[in-house]
Structure formats: C-alpha cells, structure tokens
Amino acid sequence: TEGVMQDPGTGSPNKFLYTGTEPPRPTPAPTPMPPAPPGQWFVVSGGCTIDSDNCAKSPNFPASYPNSEECYIRVGSGFGDVFAVEFDTESGRDNLFIDGMAFSGSDGPCRVQPKDSVTWSADGSISQSGWRLCPH
C-alpha cells in the first residue's frame, strides 16, 4: 500500500518497514480501589494485618518489622478515633502516616481519626518492634 510500506533499503534485515501514522492508544486508567466499608479498615497492600480485635499491626508485630517494608490500609467513613496500644519505630526514619500526618519513634497516635488511609514506610536499616493501632 502506497505511503504505508516502504522498501527499507539494501542491507536492512527488515523486509518491510511500517510507517503508518496511527496514534498510539492511550493507556487505560487504573481501576480505582473500592472504598472500605463504613466503620471498617482493610489492608490494600503490604505486610500489615488487621487482627481479631479489629486492630491494625505492623508486619511481624510484636517481633521486629522487616527493613524496606511498606503497607497501605484503606479506612472507611465514620471509622472513629484510633490510638497506639504499642508504638516503637526508628525515630524519623520508619514512619506511620495517618492521612499524611507522620508518627515515629515512641510517639504514636492517640485519639486520631483517620478519614482515608493509614500508610507504613520503613527504611532499609534499623527496625524495631513496630506498632498496633486500635479503634478507641
């Protein structure tokens, strides 16, 4: 077809060369995460867990969490306040974020109401026993 296929020239390993002008197809948007049920939270990714008391825990809690670990917990509407029953992370390096507010070291959240997410991020060095957050 004229204008679409061309002779690549002498010595080319390609027998035909596509030179069409069809634009690339856009990458589809990722499927959004479903919301957490009202008053509930669930682990979306990573090694955090929710125990039988509906408390969220860092990976391996109460043993030391792994280095370079991350997790994401989705929080449903009307969840209420949470508090740290236990909280021990590497200060300034291994951080728990509740809706973007950072907690580390021995200063865990107390009566903080998550509205959307809880995120955990540990660096690649020292690890501690981690954390356990429970609804108030």
Could you tell me the domains of the chain? 41-135 (2.60.120.290)
Give me the pLDDT at residue 40, please: 86
Give me the pLDDT at residue 12, please: 61
Evaluate if residue 136 carries a pLDDT over 80.
yes
Assign 21 a pLDDT band (cuts: 50, 70, 90).
Answer: low
Q: Which of 2-6, 23-27, 116-120 has the highest mean pLDDT?
A: 116-120
Q: CA 10, CA 18: separation in Å to the nearest integer?
A: 17
Residue 31: burial class (beta carbons within 10 Å; 0-12, 13-18, 19+): exposed
Q: CA 56, CA 111: separation in Å to the nearest integer?
A: 15
| Mean confidence (pLDDT) of the chain | 87
Give me the pLDDT at residue 6, please: 59
pTM confidence score: 0.73
Q: Collapsing DSSP states into helix, strand and coil, what is residue 102?
A: strand
74-111 per-position pLDDT tens digit: 998 888 999 999 999 999 999 999 998 999 999 999 99
32-72 per-position pLDDT tens digit: 666 777 788 999 999 999 999 999 999 999 999 999 999 99
Count of residues for the chain?
A: 136
Q: Within 10 Å of residue 63's Cβ, how many Cβ atoms?
A: 11
